[in-house]
Chains A and B, each alone.
Chain A
Amino acid sequence: MRRALAGTIALAIAGPPLGVFLILRRMSLTGDAMSHAILPGAALGYLTAGLSLGPMTIGGLAAGLIVAAGSGIVARATILREDASLAAFYLISLALGVTIVSLRGSNIDLLHVLFGSVLALDDATLILLAMIASVTLAALAFLYRPLVVETVDSGFLASVSRSGGSVQIAFLALVVLNLVGGFQALGTLLAVGMMMLPAASAMLMTDDMTLMILAAAAQGMLAGYAGLVISFHAGLPSGPLIILVAGVFYLFALIVGPAGGFLRRLRPGRHLEA
């Protein structure tokens, strides 16, 4: 239980800030697509070495990076845009993954891959999660300026530097890294929830970039803690409950969010003098 909490908090520190950027870059569904894309790699690792951390992590990383790089190259070299090529790649990847899992596994194995098991985290996984969180935060701090400029005005960045393409690839690599980490704990399908839900509700709460990132990470940690506690006492699976709690936060922000929630729209207050 203590391990589960530490692991979840590591995930919650790094994932939601990435989610904020995904949303701002209009790539909200990219995280979802990538989470499917890592499946065949993880499955291949599982097939060769069983349920062990190393091969599944490396496999997932490799598959995710191949799909990210592949769709980026297709988008640049053909008329297909990034979203179309990513969709094509991740669907191929997903089909491949399910096929590989079914080669050996039973349904229970598939469930494990799809939904993870945060309560069964061992020390090695915990260290991996901590490393991923540290690397992500450091890289995000390092990439912050070019990433913001690339998002706001990619044409301008292209006119002053050639770093645009590599910034985008590095960013996608971070997303893949966090999904791979997340899927150990939450499963491939729900890992992306830890990224997107806190980020989406943070956007409803503030329009300041820094606060947004902090709010997203804080919500992620809170959801992780509450979800774990509830799942422990109610005897329910922890991954879905963590994401459900994050979902509740999101619904709450939808209604009362001061930066564009329902109530704010409904009753904006009387107009100002100037």
Chain B
Amino acid sequence: MIDIAIRFNDVTLGYDRHPAVHHLNGEVETGALLAICGPNGAGKSTLLKGITGTLTPLEGSIALPRVKPRDIAYLPQAADIDKTFPIDVFDVVAMGLWKRCGAFGRISRRDNGEVLEAIAAIGLDGFERRPIGTLSGGQLQRMLFARLLIQNADLILLDEPFTAIDSKTVADLLTLVAHWHKERRTVLVVSHDLDLVRQYFPQTLLLAREAIAKGKTDAVLTQENLLKARSMIEAFDQQAQACTRAA
């Protein structure tokens, strides 16, 4: 039997009754490495918010049969980090220990070592005591990946993690993603870089409010499907009637 990590039950997600993801069905297997592609406004980020549970579906549901909410690690598109706060890289990465230590638990010597390892694994060694305000965009992204590493999550959701990052960093981060994949963690990555998706991601979901195609990347990212996705009308129709499609 196939082990399902995420099941979309005719789910519609949106804002103010306007759907951003419309009647999505399907499943994501445990251990899948899935790219989510589609034009701007296609509902990619919305879908991730639906999976984390921060956005309640307008209709339908998203089931996570094997994953508890605390076993999800989510990297938003624009991480809302206050860079002026006097906190250093080590402490931010150590936030990833929350699942284990919570608000009050002690951070053991072993935890400390793990944080240092994660920082080194991501190529930020020497930055442990640097205030986060002094980091460049790419370094900040590496730091957030180190925190994901510490979170040790079964389901990892990354929203456009490779934008505005140099090629070496992208390569490093992709190595990490591949490593997660090998450990049979389920990884969903939103990306606009189709070449990168073709090269590294075995499966793809092409989204344009509705699912255009899902499956093996080569079969999904065809000229025909991409054209179909591009023809999606981005603006909401202010006069739209209530959707009558059966749930």
Contact = CB atoms under 8 A, between A and B. Distances in A.
A212 B81 contact: no
B64 interface: no
A154 B54 CA distance: 13
Contacts of A234: none
Contacts of A156: 79, 95, 147
A160 interface: yes
B82 A160 contact: no
A159 B82 contact: no
Interface residues of B, number: 27
B52 A163 contact: no
B80 A154 contact: yes
A212 B84 CA distance: 14
A163 B103 CA distance: 9
B104 interface: yes
Given A145-B103, A159-B74, A161-B103, A151 B82 contact: yes
Nearest to B54: A158
Contacts of B165: none
A218 to B, nearest CB: 17
Pick from B81, B86, B132 the residue with the most CB of A within 10 Å. B86
A149 interface: yes
Contact of A24 (B80, B85, B103): B85
Interface string A134-174: 00000000100110110111111011110100000000000
A194 to B, nearest CB: 22
Given A146-B103, A163-B103, A209-B87, A152 B52 contact: no
Contact of A207 (B79, B86, B92, B98): B86
B109 to A, nearest CB: 18
Pick from B84, B99, B103 the residue with the most CB of A within 10 Å. B103
Interface in B46-88: 52, 54, 70, 72-74, 76, 79-82, 84-87
A24 B133 CA distance: 13
Contacts of B80: 153-155
A208 interface: yes
B131 interface: yes
B103 A152 contact: no
Interface string B157-194: 00000000000000000000000000000000000000
A119 to B, nearest CB: 37
Interface string B128-151: 000110000000000000010001
Given A153-B80, A155-B76, A158-B54, 8 more contacts: A24-B85, A145-B103, A148-B85, A153-B79, A160-B70, A160-B99, A161-B102, A207-B131
21 contacts: A24-B85, A142-B104, A145-B104, A148-B87, A149-B95, A152-B82, A152-B132, A153-B80, A153-B82, A153-B95, A159-B52, A159-B54, A159-B72, A159-B73, A159-B74, A160-B70, A160-B98, A161-B102, A161-B103, A209-B86, A209-B87
Interface of B: 52, 54, 70, 72-74, 76, 79-82, 84-87, 91-92, 95, 98-99, 102-104, 131-132, 147, 151
Interface of A: 24, 142, 145-146, 148-149, 151-156, 158-161, 163, 207-209, 212
